Structure 1
Amino acid sequence: MGIPIIKNNISLTPHNFYNDFLVDLASYYKSGQVDPIEFDLINDNDFDSLFGKYHIDPITIPLLLSIAEQLKKFHKKPLKLNLTNNSGTINLLEFLDKCNFFKISGKNTNPTFPIGKNIFNFNEAYLGNFRGNNQREDHKVRSYSLQDDNLINELNGFSNEEDKRDFLVEYYIYKVKDHFSELLVDNELTFNQHNLFIDILSELITNGVLHSQSDTYALMFVDRYKTKFSISDNGIGLEKSLKTKTPTSYYSTMKLSVELSKHNSLLKFPIEIINNFHSIFEALYYSMLKDRAGLFDLMCTVVLTCKGYFRLHTENSQIIISNRMLENLINLNSLRELISEVHNRFIYGKINKSEHEELIIKYSFKSLELFKEFYLDTINKYNKDIKFSSVRFYPVKFKGVHIEVEIPNK
């Protein structure tokens, strides 16, 4: 018997993944087991599963692939995944098969589909006799890696990091358009921001494969109520990535975190958890100062323009941003528009380098103050009842950066 991934009558949502599934994994390793971990897709035996109900929230799939890939690297071999195919599980198997979960996580070599990463070892004989359920062609998990399309060799042709980034962003713009455009135009709230979402997602995927130094998984799913999106990497995480940033005249390493550390008495949590919580705000602050759309712009667009939810998770910590933080976001976004305008004026030769730096330095100080307010207001909305909290701390670390978005369809 292995660790069950999906339990009867309990949907595997991102929250259940962080709060329950990862706890089960941690318990396995803390128990002193020496054998490589083994997984069961469901928690019941063949007979009991005939009468079960098994469901996975699609945007949990990138998280599942990320943690499984980490464990495969740790054990240096694929992980065994036990499947069951009967009337109780067939709809789940069919959904996972059609969204390319098994092709990406298995040993697929057919170039018509994503090439398998050999994360899971499972019996493919269980993947058949499906009911032919209608499933949207765009509802697929996507995998992005520097191993794709000879990208590593292409990047070797560039001498600096900015040129590598520009090349990858341009490359992923075409990929993102192909993968997600149809889903974005189907939601009237994302339709008008279609191009901005394409730019932001291309930037985030580039961050995942280039700076986080890992494969990145993403999935977008539209149902009758919401458009959901999840992107997950298992790389070095926000704090380590931020510490590699080259200081500029308007940004020094972990500048905001130093200020936020003065308020760590507000939460009675270990300093390690507080530090990775601070790194979430640091990443958003750094993104706000940049000359291209990224993480900060995704948060504001999702919440302010599309009336949705934005969740950002790293290690043990997560923030949930919604219209409860409306005043903070309006103030921050107004300043972000000024910063973007200054960057654009410099790019198009309207102002010189000295004028550009002077203005960005001024705005960076204003941004710092607004972010401290944003941080304190977010802390004040912390609640032990996680359903109502803007801050969540989980018992088990999950390496990397994990972004989840939910946007109502109307």
Structure 2
Amino acid sequence: MPFSFSYKQSAAAVLLTLGMYSCEQSTNTDLVVKGSFSNATGGKIMLAELPYAAAQRIVVDSAYLIDSVGRFRLHTPMSQESVYQLFIANGPGLLFINDVPDIEIVADAKHPEQFKISGSPASSSIQTLYNSFEKTYAEWKTAEAAAIAADKPGKQNDSLRTATLQQRDVRYAALQQLFSNFISKEPNATAQYFALGMAHRFLPGSQWQQLLKAAQDKHPQHPGLQLLEQRLVTANTPGTHLLNKAVPEIQLPDSSGQAVALSSLRGKWVLAYVWAGWDSSSRKQAIVLRKTQSALYKKNLVFLGLSIDKDRSTWIEAIRQDSVPAIQLSDLKYWDSKVLQQLDIQKIPFNLLIDPTGMVKAVNIPDSVFINTVSSFVR
């Protein structure tokens, strides 16, 4: 899946980097970034490009802020439109897009999030997006914390719990709508690329793919959008990177809160599956899981459910309804669940078969060959 920017970190590392003097004379084909960066006198300011296909930023110009107001002027040959970063060494930075050749930035090292950018419509768009995101995200996290508190054992109050869950879902829907509206309406392809990178953690996969396709239809030659499509193709065949490798250690709490480590099951075949009570595809997979357990119950095989639910009661009720004879674990962190990070997957349901030594022998086994595939390994 595509990378995502943390605007607070990345942006802080971008817009604070422009220097007071440039090492070369600019030309008509240069990107020129100028302005002031107060409260940073003596600091080194740098301008960097964030290439679409590279993991590291590339510093293209730098200078020292030598006067009292921190004036700077940096430049680099104008290349394809992409995301740039302006940052101060060992300090904050800011992100912008080179949609125009001349950009002016006014910032304060003490309050970098309040920077002002002029001359670049696309940069202003992503700044507005991030400011809205930060506010909406904070409201969702507050509502989520209230919902978790209302759902603790011994403290359930049905009316309060229902109200807090509804409020949490309303806030999350607002977060999703923010991204959907921005990506649908934003005319600049690089700004869409930036927003898609932020949004993939929050939008359902099908909706994210639809937004990407719509953006590509408008801008079929944009290299960033093309890269997201390439990564999407790779993500649609998940888990192959795990084959014939040691499975990452996973430790999550069970329904009683007791931590259970995957390594504690060493010596047994483990059929681990990542699922969620709210996901219909996951729930359908329970049928083949039950059939497989019934067919192989005499074998040295244990089933391990790794849920990415966010609501404890939904998770517990789904376990009861599905009746899969499995060890069930979840950190109840939804798409922030560490199991997704540890396995490096972005879609559910997902399954993997682990041998008694901890090596992954099969991934994402289709329902149509599930029992036969597992049987071929677990003899």
TM range (shorter): 0.3 to 0.5
More strand by share: 2
**Larger RCO: Structure 1 or Structure 2 (Cα < 8 Å, ≥ 6 residues apart)?**
1
TM-score, normalised via structure 1 length: 0.32
The structure with more helix, counted as a fraction of residues: 1
Give me the TM-score of the superposition, normalised by structure 2: 0.34
